[in-house]
């Protein structure tokens, strides 16, 4: 039996002028994303060719590994903005937030209200890929007590939840919003992640999408999502992202 390969469609179908990518690592030299300003401009240029012109980029804030402060992140953002203008890319909108690991350091930042939000009171958070923090629900409660809304990055990638799907419902009930990594629709992170992403989409548990771009290989792989089937699955999520600037 022969199977027809689904015809691809351009990524500009997915990303209209108002679409905002709310998860990426484009600030130069401060985490595992862009290495320098030239790398930053190269990644943004490629993403622009896909139709993405609005960015809220989110460097890691992760203990002693990536001890980024609000000041460091904002300085790097200004560097990128200046470089974009100098290179004639002044139609690119870029702002910054952070991807916060929910650890002891994050709890300190939260207590001091030293948090960079995606927009308004939305905060992008993540967990270790090995296990959830023992006090996860306490942290989620504290986030909301401070007036913020937690947006959990790539829930489909937390493999320790794959065998008990009820954990995802529990997180939603605790006030978590979910952000899908678009590359999870490919086999970039493995079949288990892809299958979990598909199920979370089917159960209507996602709120937003993000590219989580770190390097060129991510952007090459991103082209694989370009099918009508995928577009139909996530059209409402793409629209949610578009509302971020409006």
Q: State the pLDDT at residue 244.
A: 81
Give a yes or no: residue 52 inside a domain: yes
Give a yes or no: residue 1 inside a domain: no
E strands along 142-186, which residues?
A: 149-153, 177-181
Give a yes or no: residue 64 inside a domain: yes
* Residue 155: other Cβ atoms inside 10 A: 25
What's the CATH number where 134 sits? 3.20.20.140
Q: State the pLDDT at residue 114.
A: 98
Provide the whole-model pTM: 0.96
Q: What is the CA radius of gyration of the chain?
A: 18
Give a yes or no: residue 4 inside a domain: no
Helix axes 37-49, 70-86, angle to 10 degrees: 70
Show the low-confidence residues of the chain (pLDDT under 70): 1-5, 245-246
Burial of 17 (0-12, 13-18, 19+ CB in 10 A): exposed
Q: Smallest Cα–Cα separation from 231: which of 22, 12, 3? A: 12
Give a yes or no: residue 7 inside a domain: no
Structure tokens at 211: 């590219």
Round to whole Å and give the CA distance between 124 and 11. Answer: 25
Q: State the pLDDT at residue 246.
A: 66
Give a yes or no: residue 9 inside a domain: no
Domain count, the chain: 1
pLDDT digits (tens, 9 = 90+) for 57-66: 999 999 999 9
Give a yes or no: residue 126 inside a domain: yes
Q: State the pLDDT at residue 7.
A: 85
Round to whole Å and give the CA distance between 7 and 203. Answer: 26
Give a yes or no: residue 108 inside a domain: yes
Residue 151 domain boundaries: 16-245
Q: State the pLDDT at residue 6.
A: 77
Q: Tell me 135's DSSP state.
A: T
Round to whole Å and give the CA distance between 13 and 231. Answer: 8
What region, left, alpha or beta, does residue 113 occupy, with left being phi > 0 and alpha being psi -120 to 50 degrees? left
């Amino acid at each position: 039996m022969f199977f027809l390969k689904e015809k691809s469609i351009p990524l500009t179908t997915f990303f209209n002028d108002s679409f905002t990518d709310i998860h990426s690592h484009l600030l130069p030299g401060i985490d595992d994303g862009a290495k320098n300003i030239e790398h930053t401009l190269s990644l943004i240029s490629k993403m622009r060719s896909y139709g993405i012109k609005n960015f809220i980029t989110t460097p890691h804030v992760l203990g002693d590994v990536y001890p980024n402060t609000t000041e460091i992140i904002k300085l790097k953002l200004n560097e990128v903005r200046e470089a974009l203008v100098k290179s004639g890319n002044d139609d690119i909108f870029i702002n910054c937030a952070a991807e916060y690991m929910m650890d002891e350091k994050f709890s300190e930042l939260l207590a001091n209200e030293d948090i960079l939000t995606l927009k308004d009171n939305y905060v992008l958070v993540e967990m270790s890929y090995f296990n959830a923090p023992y006090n996860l629900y306490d942290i989620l409660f504290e986030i909301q007590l401070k007036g913020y809304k937690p947006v959990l990055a790539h829930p489909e990638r937390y493999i320790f939840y794959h065998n008990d799907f009820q954990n995802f419902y529990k997180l939603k009930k605790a006030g978590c919003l979910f952000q899908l990594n678009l590359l999870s629709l490919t086999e970039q992170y493995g079949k288990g992640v892809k299958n979990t992403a598909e199920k979370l989409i089917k159960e209507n548990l996602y709120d937003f999408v993000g590219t989580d771009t770190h390097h060129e290989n991510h952007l090459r792989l991103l082209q694989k999502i370009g099918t009508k089937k995928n577009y139909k699955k996530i059209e409402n999520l793409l629209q949610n992202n578009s509302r971020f600037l409006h």
